[in-house]
Structure 1
Amino acid sequence: MATKLSSLTQWLREYRVLSRYKTQWCLAALFLLLAAAATLAVPLAFRDLVDTGLTSDAIDLKFINLLLLAIALALMTASRFYVMSWLGERVVADIRQRVFENVLRQSPAYFETLQTGEVLSRMTSDTTLVQTLVGSSISIALRSLVMLLGGMTMMLVTSAWLAGVMIVLLLLVVLPLWALGRRVRKMSRASQDKVADTSAMAGEVLNAMTTVQAFVREPHEQKRFNSAVEMAFFEAKKRITMRSLLTATAIMMAFGVIVFVLWIGARQVTAGTISLGELTQFVLYAVLIAGSIGALSETWGDLQRAAGATERLVELMQAEPALASSARGNDRTETSTTANLSAPEAVVFNDVTFAYPSRPDFLAMNHLTLSVPRGARVALVGPSGAGKSTLFAMLLRFYQPTAGQIEIFGRDITQWPVSELRGMVGIVPQEPVIFASSAMENIRYGRLDATDAEVIAAAKTAHAHGFISALPQGYDSFLGERGVRLSGGQKQRISIARAILKNPPLLLLDEATSALDAESEREVQLALDSVLPGRTSLTIAHRLATVLRADRIIVIEDGIVVEQGKHEALITQGGLYARLAKLQFA
């Protein structure tokens, strides 16, 4: 618990949460103290009422004073609630922004072991716990602590002997509460983990809904989800059982102490040691103290849960990206240099070896060496799993090579600021990504400052203008989540238009025409023929008919370049390319 709270404290200090919202914190503290003072004055007002007597002429003034005190208490409490709730929402908004900002900086290797559903769960359910802690629980805890200390002080003033007995007995209550609180903390972390697993599973299934329905696996997925929900409920049930026991123990022991002390006080009133008004005052302070202890036990449970949630959030906020020194384009450790686009070689792989972190024993690249001249159209061919897509990932610097060197336009890839490096590269993935926005905004994603005319020109070049214009609202038509309103070929042409709009010196095409019909493929090939001359391009192709115009074909197998040359020469060699061509063209 101490470690988790220290990590939270460290983050609060680093992000300057207290100094950033100094005015609000000061106002919250002021309203808290004023509300506590008003509450602590209530027993004094009642003592006045009892000792004055209900038949006294001054009784009207005493009731007016009590009413004014209640109004002041209501105003101060409402003000404290507003300011603390504002702080809770603001701090949680900051946490969500920081988490998302840091997650965006992570390399793809980070997501090989972390499910996106788990990240979303942390940003929603975990931050909600933190919001409850900051906006509500901390406020209640501070108020209860002030009331506890103030009540005890006033009890000491009223009757030092009775207060001393109560304080000693209440201290004995703390030990069992502390032991139970430690168990609640462990159960809270386990419960949150199960909730995150459930969210991750739901996100995975929803993203693959068409596959689930195509295989009629709705009952299977429902069963899996039900099982995960029940496991989360089982963990939550253990947590709330222990928390209920914690609450019951705290209240029972606290009130037991109070009843015992009040019994002693009643005997003192009988003996004439204290007045009835003083005993009434002491009773009200005892009730305030009991309520404060009960509230503290409740907020302690909230703190246990929020501590586990905060630990998980801090892990996300403090996770260092694989390219820690170069994840930001404005990093001072790197010098931004204009690309040397006149370098004779656009891309050079020199004895590059690489294995994915999730599969360290399998070499996706095995001492691979190749070069791509500036302005050349190069095709990458080979069986699935040969390392072609890995080569693209290395060029975008999603991963670092285990050994060897990669150069882009005559400069070592590690010396490029990552943002500048990726700004020079355009990619059309095999599975196009369509965002839940309009066609105009999806294409403009390639260059955010592009005008509408430039977006439309890129769409025409990619032969996407026709079907986009036929949509209900044209370029302003909403394409749906992941582009569900488009066909596979239409998605691919949107992706190609996005890359064309970016206009990069190096273009990566990963089966750019794989989802197109014969007519659309011909149109896109014609579009690429008008775009690619003079631009360096690398094209991954399984359909060899799409690479016949390539200046050079590089054949990769098991992470090694096994052949390279033009189509006719490779056919003559009778190697892997010839076998693949025979299978397709026969």
Structure 2
Amino acid sequence: MPQSDPSDSPDSPSPKSLTVLLQLWQFMKPYRGTLVAAGIALVLTAGITLSIGQGVRLLIDEGFVAQSTEALTQAVLVVIGLSFLMALGTYVRFYLVSWLGERVTADLRSAVFGHLVTLHPSYFETNRSGEIMSRLTTDTTLLQNIIGSSFSMALRSALTFIGALILLVVTNLKLSLMVLIGVPLVLLPIVLYGRRVRKLSRASQDSIADVGSYAGEIIQNIKTVQSYTREAHEKQAFDAEVEVAFNVAKRRVKQRAMLIATVILLIFSAITGLIWVGGNDMLAGRMSGGDLAAFVFYAVIMAGSVATISEVYGELQRATGATERLMDLLNVESLIPVEQGQAYSEARSFKGPLLRFDGIEFAYPSRPELKALTQLNLEVPAGQSLALVGPSGAGKSTVFELLQRFYDPDAGHITIGGTDIRDLNTQSLRQQLAVVPQQPALFTADVWYNIRYGKPDATDAEVIAAAKAAHAHDVIAKLPDGYNSHLGEQGTRLSGGQKQRLAIARAILKDPKILLLDEATSALDAESEYHVQQALETLMENRTTIIIAHRLATILHADNIAVMDHGKLVAQGRHVELLQSSPLYRRLADLQFQDGAAEAMVKVDDVI
């Protein structure tokens, strides 16, 4: 895998400002009441924090300087009371803001995932699953921290900064002018370094996604890695990915560290200068000790606010990058609309063939220069079976992809009963189909869930009946917990043949109008294949079926056989006819049936 620095990627543009965070408002809008309550608590705590400065002034001027025990006690009680109110307000603010962060993040994750599962498959051909998962998990977790903590800290610091600045002016105008001159000097590095942090934050998120994507791919194919003894190579390659991510993160951390260090140096230099000027004024009698203490208190509050803002600013830059990545996902438009179009109607009277492929031209979006299908014309009458045969790359699987409308043809039409499938509601269309793939997909759940996936409302009795029909019941009964047994990730606890029987049971349970079989018995032993073939023949009765066949012995009795090569239909007919008329079919038969077996099959077929 080639290494690259994500920060140099042209596909990773940095947002120009924090305005991208405003896109989060659509997720916060339903919780405006909570947001308002948190804002009120935030304002109150900021106000109470600033009021403590006046308590400090009273404590010094009315208590220490005046040497009044009563005034000292009152000042201490005021400070304690304000501290209690500040603690209570902080509790309310922290709880509400943290709740809001958790809630908005949950809604955002749900929205992103809900959108992902509706996207066209070609999107996942050009975007790695690891990167998508990083956006769904890492980026949303980052936003959770920002909304639930950092954002409220930034608002609180901004309020206390403004309030402290106003009170500084009220307390001492001359010192306040010095502060106003120093503030731009402190804010300048925040802006300058913030731009660099923003760019590196997006690059850091991308590099972390690369690490997760690489690790996920290796773990998913761990048996292949170990079979070819490539553990050391993959560890070295993964280490290189980690180093790329570390180097980007190191640059980001360095910029943030420089930002924080610069702000701290400027702030404390300014406070020291203020104390020196204010101390001289106090010694000269131009201001009281309490005023100086209050002024220093407000200056420290301002300094702390600026320091917090400078630190949180870096987090907000990261949030900007994370938000942009998530919004990129939400803004992807599916090329295949799911809910548009008319619903499939069982009552519709079909005229002519149930399925028709008319002049189909198609190339996969990820390789547009290579035609997968060229001028394909096929007809499948209702209730009959069509077998697709041909060498690898002939376009057989592409027919299934187009029929399920994972892609739309570049030219031509696919019709069901004369209705173009693009005019049908896609979900309604797919509900009429059941696919038994050569490599069945199972989920990390129990047997009930996996078989019931095609019909979620099926009863236990229906699931068991489907399993028996697929000759999977005995296999399931031997599992540790029977139908309650969890199958592991991608069904790793089952053999290939056992997985396929569960997939067949799933299709049987769904009871589809159109059945798609991709060499559904290829992973079974001879005895199981015989029994499952019987079950499939029962399932295929009076049902429109398309079969992708690699072993010709499984489709000898198909109503029609289409021979494909390089995306084109080169011959069509029954087994006996094709042995005589199609050189390609004859060659495939000779390769599979040993020494004259093809001729023997002709005679058998003639007898049948």
TM-score, normalised with respect to structure 2: 0.93
1:89 match: 102
1:147-182 alpha-carbon deviations (Å, 9 max, x no partner): 000000111110112112211221232223211110
Q: CA deviation at 1:469?
A: 1.6
1:498-551 alpha-carbon deviations (Å, 9 max, x no partner): 011111110000110111111111111111111101000000010111111211
Matched, 1:240 2:250: no
Alignment partner of 1:415 out of 423, 430, 435? 423
Alignment partner of 2:37 out of 21, 24, 27? 27
State the alpha-carbon separation in 2 of the partners of residues 243 and 264 from structure 1. 32
- Point out the more displaced range, 185-194 or 55-64: 55-64
State the alpha-carbon separation in 2 of the partners of residues 261 and 22 from structure 1. 42
Alignment of 1:125-524 (within 5 A): 125-323=138-336, 326-328=337-339, 331=340, 334-339=341-346, 340=348, 342-524=350-532
Alignment partner of 1:108 out of 93, 105, 121? 121
State the alpha-carbon separation in 1 of the partners of residues 192 and 385 from structure 2. 70
Contact preservation (8 Å) 2:63, 2:69: no
Contact preservation (8 Å) 1:89, 1:135: yes
1:74-110 alpha-carbon deviations (Å, 9 max, x no partner): 1111211111111111111111111101110111100
State the alpha-carbon separation in 2 of the partners of residues 365 and 153 from structure 1. 74
**In structure 1, what residue type is equivalent to 2:47?**
A
State the alpha-carbon separation in 2 of the partners of residues 381 and 2 from structure 1. 51
For 1:448, what is the secondary structure of its paired residue? coil
For 1:21, what is the secondary structure of its paired residue? helix
**In structure 2, what residue type is equivalent to 1:437?**
A
Alignment of 1:117-128 (within 5 A): 117-128=130-141
State the alpha-carbon separation in 2 of the partners of residues 305 and 127 from structure 1. 11
State the alpha-carbon separation in 1 of the partners of residues 442 and 509 from structure 2. 15
CA separation of 1:463/1:356 partners in 2, compared to 1, >3 Å: closer, same or farther? same
1:549 match: 557
Contact preservation (8 Å) 1:492, 1:513: yes
State the alpha-carbon separation in 2 of the partners of residues 176 and 476 from structure 1. 61
Q: CA deviation at 1:8?
A: 3.4
1:32-83 alpha-carbon deviations (Å, 9 max, x no partner): 1111111101111111111123341212222122112111111111211111
CA separation of 1:372/1:3 partners in 2, compared to 1, >3 Å: closer, same or farther? farther
TM-score, normalised with respect to structure 1: 0.96
1:51 match: 61
Q: CA deviation at 1:255?
A: 2.0
1:425-471 alpha-carbon deviations (Å, 9 max, x no partner): 11011110111111111100010111111111111111111111222
Q: CA deviation at 1:4?
A: 5.8
State the alpha-carbon separation in 2 of the partners of residues 258 and 487 from structure 1. 72
**In structure 1, what residue type is equivalent to 2:145?**
T
1:128-153 alpha-carbon deviations (Å, 9 max, x no partner): 11111111111100000000000001
Q: CA deviation at 1:6?
A: 3.5
For 1:508, what is the secondary structure of its paired residue? strand
Contact preservation (8 Å) 2:358, 2:376: yes
**In structure 2, what residue type is equivalent to 1:388?**
K
Matched, 1:531 2:539: yes
1:155-212 alpha-carbon deviations (Å, 9 max, x no partner): 1110112112211221232223211110111111111110000000111111111111
Where does the alignment leave 5 or more consecutive residues of structure 1 unmatched? Answer: none
CA separation of 1:384/1:345 partners in 2, compared to 1, >3 Å: closer, same or farther? same
1:36 match: 46
State the alpha-carbon separation in 2 of the partners of residues 182 and 286 from structure 1. 27
Contact preservation (8 Å) 1:377, 1:536: yes
State the alpha-carbon separation in 2 of the partners of residues 481 and 350 from structure 1. 40
State the alpha-carbon separation in 1 of the partners of residues 431 and 169 from structure 2. 71
State the alpha-carbon separation in 2 of the partners of residues 343 and 278 from structure 1. 95
State the alpha-carbon separation in 1 of the partners of residues 570 and 205 from structure 2. 51
Contact preservation (8 Å) 1:8, 1:314: no
Q: CA RMSD of the aligned region, Å?
A: 1.3
**In structure 1, what residue type is equivalent to 2:68?**
S
The number of equivalent residue pairs is 577
For 2:286, what is the secondary structure of its paired residue? coil
CA separation of 1:184/1:532 partners in 2, compared to 1, >3 Å: closer, same or farther? same
1:552-582 alpha-carbon deviations (Å, 9 max, x no partner): 1110101111011111111112411110000
1:311-341 alpha-carbon deviations (Å, 9 max, x no partner): 0000011111112xx322xx4xx23241436
Contact preservation (8 Å) 1:4, 1:311: no
Contact preservation (8 Å) 1:4, 1:308: no
Contact preservation (8 Å) 1:32, 1:143: yes
For 2:234, what is the secondary structure of its paired residue? helix
State the alpha-carbon separation in 2 of the partners of residues 106 and 6 from structure 1. 27
State the alpha-carbon separation in 2 of the partners of residues 381 and 343 from structure 1. 27
CA separation of 1:27/1:574 partners in 2, compared to 1, >3 Å: closer, same or farther? closer
State the alpha-carbon separation in 1 of the partners of residues 355 and 371 from structure 2. 21
Contact preservation (8 Å) 2:344, 2:429: no
State the alpha-carbon separation in 1 of the partners of residues 331 and 31 from structure 2. 22
Where does the alignment leave 5 or more consecutive residues of structure 2 unmatched? Answer: 1-13, 595-608
**In structure 2, what residue type is equivalent to 1:220?**
H
**In structure 2, what residue type is equivalent to 1:327?**
V
For 1:179, what is the secondary structure of its paired residue? helix
- Point out the more displaced range, 334-343 or 432-441: 334-343
State the alpha-carbon separation in 2 of the partners of residues 48 and 487 from structure 1. 81
